[in-house]
């Protein structure tokens, strides 16, 4: 595989919830992201999957330096983002952009589409007004929107079109890495496919690298080169897509995969139904976070945190079943 | 590769690109549709105009007691062709005093609200946007100011500063910035979590531009409405202060201190021309301001269709 564009090493993001009053300190810590490591190669898509509340979006925001990491390193092309000065970081932001989940909240309702797409250019590119307009037109064309839409306001568009505008804004400064934070989850199923195809086409055209955050395994299957599964702030399994689906190791991943609806398939797959709810991240279970719901739970799991170990062909899994 | 993926491009007919003037500005078009707001704006402009040129339109000197043909002061005279709104207890022409009083009351209200709004926006945005200890500090100060009864605080400050027109403006501004601060802070807190703010941060936008471009325009509507209501309130506070003798001082007329004539039961019952015009002027102004505020709120929201 190619060189690594993004490397995340032992990243932690803990939020302290201050339930304190003047009289009593009562702090609790939410370990939203608890020691995760992964990398993304240039031009590939890493799908980051997990239930809501498992910390996947937080991870995305920490990588973009929208939230400060509690611990760990984020290396973009080998440069540690946390060590950069404010100015250097600002320049670096040109290389990484984000597309948000909610197309209604992600566009400023008072700016015309042209202004929205233009904004990152005004910060990072030294272009004349005419050159910027040319680029805006071209980008709109790239995302499948008519350039005549330039002078409209976001509320005049449908969800799918707005998401295209959001993608156009992310593309405006030709970033290397785009973090897709559930970019299709808020869209109708029919529109999802169109936007997914657009995202793929743009990747091929511009050689983009994606961190694709989603809770939808079918989407991830469609779009990713590699897949990482998160559970309660930790990564439990990372593998190439085909490996992941053919040779699933972690019981949690197996349960997730068994939940993908398969239209038209004759033989009924055994559905693995997990017991209980997602435990609270304020007070996660000891040892392996998954042990409260795991059908194969062993004594070891309750006390010992499993390491993410290589089980061959860069397939990593954090489970005592596979960690001999 | 062709960039247009998925859906076929909708063909849109774009209205020929017009030159941007205030005449075809969308907000103005929407405002125009609201007849009440237009009416309010008209009344308000009229009042402001009259206030601005009061020496030209006032029939008499508002400070001079008029003398009748018998040689005495023409006190509490009912409306007549000579004095259209009658005279007050010192024989001064009511119409002229209403006109000059408008000048005083309106400028007090507008300047006071300006002070309150600017202070409120600055403090509210700082508290809401930067959060943490700055927020705590500003909000605690606000709480402390709110704890004082408005009139008590105003009277105290007035006693220290000596009552004058300028000081009345400052005093009203000083006691009314808290509402705006809280409102703005709340709105900023709400907006700060919006994804388009995050997007602006992710692209490396400066905080000042995020505030002026992404935050302020989106909280303008509640600010305008609040400022409108506060103008009305400021007019009322001014009259209350004037009533207590710490506001606008006689002989300078203001709508507030003109109302005080109604403290005499005799005047209240039998001489309505002495207090009714001032009351009506206040009513008309507040109503107009509220209509305009409502109209502006709707007009400035691009989500409202034409």
The strand pairing partners of B301, in sequence order, are none
Q: What is the pLDDT of residues B72-105, one digit of tens each?
A: 677 767 777 777 777 777 778 888 888 888 888 8
- Using DSSP, state whether B275 is helix, strand or coil: helix
In a domain, residue A69? The reply is no
- Interface contact flag, A108 B9, Cβ < 8 Å: no
B6 contact residues in A (CB cutoff 8 A): 144, 193-195, 197-198
With an 8 Å Cβ cutoff, are A198 and B214 in contact? Answer: no
The tokens describing B40, both together, are 């309010």
Which residues on chain A are in Cβ contact (under 8 Å) with B201?
A: 66
Chain B CB contacts of A98 under 8 Å are 198-199, 202
Alpha-carbon distance A118 to A70, whole Å? Answer: 33
CATH number of the domain where residue B160 is located: 1.10.3720.10
Q: Which of A222-231, B39-48, B235-244 has the weakest average pLDDT?
A: B235-244
For residue A71, the cross-strand partners are A12
pLDDT of residue B71: 67
Residue B64 belongs to some domain of the structure? no
Please check whether residue A295 lies inside any domain of the structure.
Answer: yes
- Determine the distance in angstroms separating the CA of B189 from the nearest CA of chain A, rounded to an integer: 15
* Between residues A323 and B132, the one the model is more confident about: B132
**What residues in chain B have their Cβ under 8 A from chain A's Cβ atoms?**
1, 3-7, 9-12, 14, 17, 194-196, 198-205, 213-214, 217-218, 302-303
Q: Is residue B84 part of a domain?
A: no
- Our CA-based measurement puts residue A304 at a distance from the nearest CA of chain B, in whole angstroms, of 37
| Cα(A255)–Cα(B66) distance, integer angstroms | 96
Highest mean pLDDT among A261-265, A291-295, B14-18: A291-295
**Residue A208 touches partner B, C-beta closer than 8 Å:** no
Contact A100/B195, CB-based, under 8 Å? yes
Cβ atoms of B79 and B257 closer than 8 Å: no
How far apart are the C-alpha atoms of B122 and B114, rounded to whole Å? 12
In this structure, of A162-176, A218-232, B160-174, B188-202, the range with the lowest mean pLDDT score is B160-174
Return the structure tokens found at A82: 């946390």
Q: Does A220 touch chain B (CB under 8 A)?
A: no
The verdict on a CB contact (< 8 Å) between B204 and A123 is: yes
Touching check for A153 and chain B: CB below 8 Å?
A: yes
**According to the model, what pLDDT value does residue A315 have?**
87
Among the residue ranges A94-98, A143-147, A298-302, B116-120, the one predicted with the least confidence is: A298-302
**Strands laid side by side in the A45-49 sheet:** A96-99, A177-181, A209-214, A45-49, A226-231, A234-240, A316-317, A309-310
C-beta atoms of A93 and B202 within 8 A = yes
Report the number of distinct structural domains present in chain A.
Answer: 1
Distance between CA atoms of residues A249 and A236, nearest Å: 10
Q: What is the pLDDT of residue B7?
A: 40
Mean pLDDT across chain B:
80
A 286-305 residues with CB below 8 A of B? none
> Residue B13 above 70 pLDDT?
no
Q: What is the pLDDT of residue B12?
A: 38
Indicate if the pLDDT at residue A307 is higher than 50: yes
Q: CB of A101 within 8 Å of any CB in chain B?
A: yes
User: Which among B11, B12, B202 has CB closest to A66?
Assistant: B202
Beta bridge partners of A49: A214, A229
Can you read off the two tokens belonging to residue A197? 């195809």
Its domain, for residue B287, covers 45-57+101-299
Q: Do B9 and A193 touch (CB under 8 A)?
A: no
pLDDT at B114 over 90: yes
> How close does chain A come to B136, measured CA to CA in Å?
13
pLDDT of residue B18: 40
Cα-based distances in Å from A228 to A36, A72, A196, B254: 10, 18, 19, 73
Rounded mean pLDDT, B162-176 = 84
Suggest the residue from A99, A107, A144, A150 to mutate for an interface test with chain B (most B CBs closer than 10 A): A144
Distance between CA atoms of residues B78 and B93, nearest Å? 11
- Least confident interval from A150-159, A198-207, A255-264: A255-264
Assessment of whether the complete model's pTM goes beyond 0.80: no
Q: Do A90 and B5 touch (CB under 8 A)?
A: no
* B4 → closest Cβ in A144, A149, A153: A144
- Taking contacts as CB-CB distances below 8 angstroms, the residues of chain B near A195 are 6
Q: How confident is the model at residue B276 (pLDDT cuts 50, 70, 90)?
A: confident
| Other Cβ atoms closer than 10 A to B207 | 12
State residue A2's pLDDT score.
64
Which range, of A101-110, A120-129, B156-165, averages the lowest pLDDT? B156-165
Placement of tokens 């300190």 in the chain: A25
Structural domains in chain B (count): 1
Instruction: Give domain status of residue B21, yes or no.
Output: no
Average pLDDT (B47-69) is 79
Residue B17 has pLDDT above 60, yes or no: no
Is B60's pLDDT higher than 90?
Answer: no
The pLDDT tens digits for A266-294 are 666 667 777 777 777 777 888 888 888 88
Nearest to A194 among B5, B196, B198 (CB): B5
The residue range of the domain holding A282 is 238-261+268-324
Distance CA A203, CA B141 (A): 52
CA distance A160 to A143: 11
Inspect the interface and report whether the beta carbons of B203 and A66 lie closer than 8 Å. Answer: no
Sorting pLDDT into bands at 50, 70 and 90, what band is B125? very high
- The predicted structure's pLDDT at residue B115: 93
Confidence of residue B296 (pLDDT cuts 50, 70, 90): confident
Answer whether A245 touches B (CB < 8 Å). no
d(Cα B84, Cα B62) in Å, to the nearest integer? 13
Tokens matching residue A19 = 């339930």
Which chain A residues in 248-267 lie under 8 Å from chain B, judged by CB atoms?
Answer: none
Q: How far apart are CA A220 and CA A146, in angstroms?
A: 29
With a pLDDT cut of 90, the percent of chain A lying above it is: 11
pLDDT of residue A24: 61
pLDDT of residue A266: 62
pLDDT: which is higher, B229 or A106: A106
Nearest residue in chain B measured CA to CA from A62: B202
Strand order in the sheet with A79-80: A27-41, A4-18, A71-76, A79-80
| B1 assigned to some structural domain | no
Residue A62 has pLDDT above 70, yes or no: yes
pLDDT reading at B185 higher than 90: yes
What pLDDT score was predicted for residue B113?
A: 92
pLDDT at B9 over 60: no
* Span B202-231, pLDDT tens digits: 888 888 999 998 999 888 878 887 888 788
Query: Which residue in chain A has the smallest CA separation from B303?
Result: A155
B51 inside domain: yes
Q: Tell me what pLDDT residue B303 has.
A: 61
Mean pLDDT of A19-39: 75
pLDDT tens per residue, range B130-143? 888 899 999 999 99
Report the pLDDT value the prediction gives residue B127, as an integer from 0 to 100. Answer: 93
A146, B196: Cβ pair inside 8 Å?
no
Q: How many percent of chain B have pLDDT more than 90? A: 16
- Token couple for A43: 């031009």
User: Is A315 among the domain residues?
Assistant: yes
**What is the interface pTM, i.e. ipTM, of the complex?**
0.83
pLDDT band at B20 (very low <50, low <70, confident <90, very high): very low
């Amino acid at each position: 595989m190619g060189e690594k564009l993004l490397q995340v090493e032992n990243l932690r993001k803990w939020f302290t919830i201050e339930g304190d009053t003047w009289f009593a300190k009562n702090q609790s810590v939410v370990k939203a992201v608890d020691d995760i490591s992964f990398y993304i190669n240039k031009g590939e898509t890493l799908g980051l999957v997990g239930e809501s509340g498992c910390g996947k979006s937080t991870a995305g925001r920490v990588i973009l330096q929208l939230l400060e990491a509690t611990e760990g390193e984020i290396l973009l092309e080998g440069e540690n983002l946390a060590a950069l000065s404010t100015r250097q970081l600002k320049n670096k932001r040109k290389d990484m952009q984000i597309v948000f989940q909610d197309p209604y909240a992600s566009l400023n309702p008072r700016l015309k589409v042209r202004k929205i797409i233009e904004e990152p250019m005004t910060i990072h590119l030294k272009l004349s007004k005419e050159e910027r307009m040319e680029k805006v037109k071209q980008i709109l064309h790239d995302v499948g929107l008519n350039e005549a839409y330039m002078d409209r306001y976001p509320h005049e568009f449908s969800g799918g079109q707005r998401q295209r505008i959001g993608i156009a804004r992310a593309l405006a400064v030709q970033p290397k890495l785009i973090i897709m934070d559930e970019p299709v989850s808020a869209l109708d199923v029919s529109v999802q496919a169109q936007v997914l195809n657009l995202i793929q086409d743009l990747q091929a055209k511009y050689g983009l690298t994606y961190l694709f955050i989603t809770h939808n395994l079918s989407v991830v299957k469609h779009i990713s080169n590699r897949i990482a599964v998160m559970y309660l702030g930790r990564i439990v399994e990372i593998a190439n897509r085909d490996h992941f689906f053919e040779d699933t190791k972690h019981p949690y991943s197996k349960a997730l995969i068994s939940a993908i609806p398969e239209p038209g398939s004759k033989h009924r797959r055994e559905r693995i139904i997990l017991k209980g709810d997602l435990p609270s991240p304020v007070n996660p279970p000891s040892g392996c976070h998954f042990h409260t719901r795991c059908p194969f739970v062993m004594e070891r799991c309750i006390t010992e945190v499993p390491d993410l170990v290589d089980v061959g062909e860069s397939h990593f899994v954090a489970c005592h079943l596979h960690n001999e | 590769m062709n960039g247009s993926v998925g859906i076929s491009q909708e063909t849109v007919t774009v209205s020929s690109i017009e030159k941007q003037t205030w005449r075809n500005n969308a907000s103005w078009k929407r405002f125009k549709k609201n007849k009440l707001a237009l009416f309010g704006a008209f009344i308000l402009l009229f009042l402001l105009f009259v206030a601005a040129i009061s020496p030209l339109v006032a029939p008499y000197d508002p400070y001079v007691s008029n003398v009748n043909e018998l040689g005495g002061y023409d006190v509490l005279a009912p409306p007549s062709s000579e004095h259209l709104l009658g005279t007050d207890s010192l024989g001064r022409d009511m119409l002229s005093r209403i006109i000059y009083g408008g000048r005083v009351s309106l400028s007090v209200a507008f300047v006071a609200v300006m002070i309150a709004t600017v202070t409120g926006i600055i403090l509210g945005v700082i508290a809401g946007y930067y959060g943490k200890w700055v927020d705590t500090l500003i909000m605690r100060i606000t709480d402390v100011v709110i704890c004082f009864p408005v009139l008590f605080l105003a009277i105290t400050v007035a006693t220290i500063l000596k009552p004058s027109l300028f000081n009345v403006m400052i005093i009203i501004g000083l006691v009314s910035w808290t509402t705006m601060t809280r409102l703005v802070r709340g709105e900023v807190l709400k907006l700060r979590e919006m994804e388009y703010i995050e997007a602006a941060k992710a692209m490396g936008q400066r905080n000042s531009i995020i505030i002026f471009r992404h935050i302020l325009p989106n909280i303008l509507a509640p600010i305008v409405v609040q400022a409108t209501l506060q103008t009305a309130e400021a007019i009322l506070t001014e009259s209350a202060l004037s009533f207590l003798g710490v506001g606008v001082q006689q002989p300078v007329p203001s709508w507030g201190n003109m109302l005080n004539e109604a403290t005499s039961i005799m005047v209240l019952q039998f001489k309505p021309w002495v207090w009714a015009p001032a009351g009506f002027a206040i009513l008309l102004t507040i109503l107009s301001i509220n209509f305009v505020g409502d109209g502006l709120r709707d007009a400035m929201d691009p989500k409202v269709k034409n």
